[in-house]
Amino acid sequence: MELTADLKAALIRQVAEAVISHADELTALDQAIGDGDHGVNLKRGFEAVLAQLNTLAEKDPGEILKAVGTALVMKVGGASGPLYGTLFMTMGKHLPPKFSLSDLAQAFTAGVEAVKVRGKSDVGQKTMLDVLVPVARTLQESNDDLLSKLKTVAESSAHATIPMKAVRGRASFLGERSVGHMDPGARSSSLMVLAVVETLENHR
Ligand code: ADP
Ligand code: MG
């Protein structure tokens, strides 16, 4: 797969705008089980990404991911800034300039594994990993229906965090009271995956 500058710009813009346009929803989710800053945090980070859109789109995909990760680390803060920064930077390190679907799956999986290490966390703990891990698995098991499967998996796995009890991050302070709310980081992860898939569908 080789991406044109137009498609790279569209991917960056759609991911950033998806997060920014859902900032209020992400904040509301974080108000329920955290400190209410997830939407504002990510909005600040992705606005910094959008400000570099034209220079970013000229770079190789791996370099774009590293630059996005760096911007998120610098601007987002909280728990999610370093974790999303780790995801994007690690993925960027592993993605060659021209890549196959299997390269993409491997790079994304490396990013997700790095999030686990950084967060001392894993699936089932009501975090972004509850979306990122199933998405990585779907990428690895790629087949004809990949794009629509990715959308279904991203949405259903974000919803599947509702009945979970948080054991990592701020929401874990609530214990049982975290049950019944969608995890904000799981939702933001699903929004990013949906934005990538929808951009690719529109470019087919
Ligand atoms: P903070 O919790 O510091 O206010 P944010 O509100 O920006 O940071 O992000 C909260 C989200 O970060 C959570 O909803 C969860 O998905 C994710 N998160 C928090 N801690 C961890 C962790 N240890 N591992 C994975 N994800 C985590
Ligand atoms: Mg928060």
| Alpha-carbon span 101 to 79, nearest angstrom | 30
Tokens of 168: 């990592």
CA of 83 to the centre of ligand 2 (A): 13
Is residue 69 lining ligand 1, measured as CB closer than 6 Å?
Answer: no
Is residue 129 lining ligand 1, measured as CB closer than 6 Å?
Answer: yes
Give per-residue pLDDT as tens, 4-26.
999 999 999 999 999 999 999 99
DSSP 8-state symbol, 59:
S
pLDDT at position 204 is 76
Overall domain count for the chain:
1
| Amino acid of residue 141 | E
| Amino acid of residue 13 | R
Tokens of 50: 């959008």
Give per-residue pLDDT as tens, 153-191.
999 999 999 999 999 999 999 999 999 999 999 999 999
Q: Is 100 exposed, middle or buried (0-12, 13-18, 19+ CB in 10 A)?
A: exposed
**Over 90: is that where the pLDDT of 2 sits?**
no
Give per-residue pLDDT as tens, 26-64.
999 999 999 999 999 999 999 999 999 999 999 999 999
**Quick check: pTM over 0.95?**
yes
**Over 90: is that where the pLDDT of 98 sits?**
yes
pLDDT at position 1 is 65
User: Taking the alpha carbons of 3, 6, 151, 169 in that order, is the dihedral positive or negative?
Assistant: positive
Is residue 37 lining ligand 1, measured as CB closer than 6 Å?
Answer: yes
Q: Give the distance from CA 141 to its chain's centroid.
A: 19
Mean pLDDT of 105-110: 98
| Alpha-carbon span 174 to 131, nearest angstrom | 21
CA of 69 to the centre of ligand 1 (A): 16
b/e sequence 156-166, b meaning 16+ C-beta within 10 Å? ebbebbeebbb
CB proximity list for 125: less than 8 A, separation 6 or greater:
164, 166, 167, 168, 172
Atom index in ligand 1 nearest the CA of residue 78 equals: 3
- DSSP H helices, 34-173, are 38-51, 53-57, 61-75, 80-94, 101-119, 129-140, 146-159
Domain that holds residue 146: 5-202
140 within 8 A of 113, measured Cβ to Cβ: no
147 falls in which pLDDT band (50, 70, 90)?
Answer: very high
Is residue 130 lining ligand 1, measured as CB closer than 6 Å?
Answer: no
